[in-house]
Amino acid sequence: MCGIAGFINFINNNNHKEDLNTLNLMINSLSHRGPDNTNVWTSQNKTAYIAHSRLSIIDLSNQANQPMISQNKQYVLSFNGEIYNFIELKTELEKIKNINFKTSSDTEVLLELISEYGFETAIKKITGMFALCLWDNLNNTLHLARDRIGEKPIYYCNNNNSFIFASEIKAILSNELFNKEINLNNLNQYFKYGYLLKSNSIFKNIYKLDPGAFITY
């Protein structure tokens, strides 16, 4: 498994160093998910911050590290999981246009699939277990998506003019933009059922993305 963490910050976007420190705190809390490599990426306007903690499986080379940027420079992808049909999709892409794939990873195939078909169509084409975040440099939008069974988790929070996301809640708690406040209704729900219903979490304003769902910010 790998770790995904990041945020969009419209509050302190003039304090790039502080935001980078926050991003590193978030991804370092997920180092157990991906001990092989840790990388961070920020948008040119210093509002979008994405980090990845990698567990190397399919392609062990440094070229397959993430966040990965598409060849047309429009998209940035941080991906946790596995695409089972990526070889077939890679062949399909090679027939459509002349793509010089730099890696043998399923991440690069997914990234170029999105570049060719767009986010929603590409997600419908893939079969696998995954959670991902995708930044669109052209439209300044962030997409989060989760596999249909919900095997790979991703959490998000929208508050205080910021949008925060991560593979685990602990990474969101590492971000000072988030106000740590227990949701008492959900706490009662947990003690009553032994688990939380639907997309709820124990904290106010933190939600788990539903299986098979995606959101755009």
Helices (H) and strands (E) in the chain, counts: 6, 11
Respond yes or no: is residue 2 known to be catalytic.
yes
Residue 12: count other Cβ atoms within 10 Å of its Cβ.
Answer: 16
**Which stretches does DSSP call E strand in 36-104?**
37-42, 48-54, 68-69, 75-83
Candidate list 2, 8, 109, 110, residue with the active-site label: 2
Residue 157 has phi, psi (to 5 degrees) of -145, 135
- Do the strands 162-166 and 3-9 form a parallel or antiparallel pair, or are they unpaired? antiparallel
In whole angstroms, give the CA distance from residue 93 to residue 31: 33
In whole angstroms, give the CA distance from residue 199 to residue 70: 31
> Which residues, listed in sequence order, are joined to residue 134 by a DSSP beta bridge?
77, 143
What is the set of active-site residues? 2
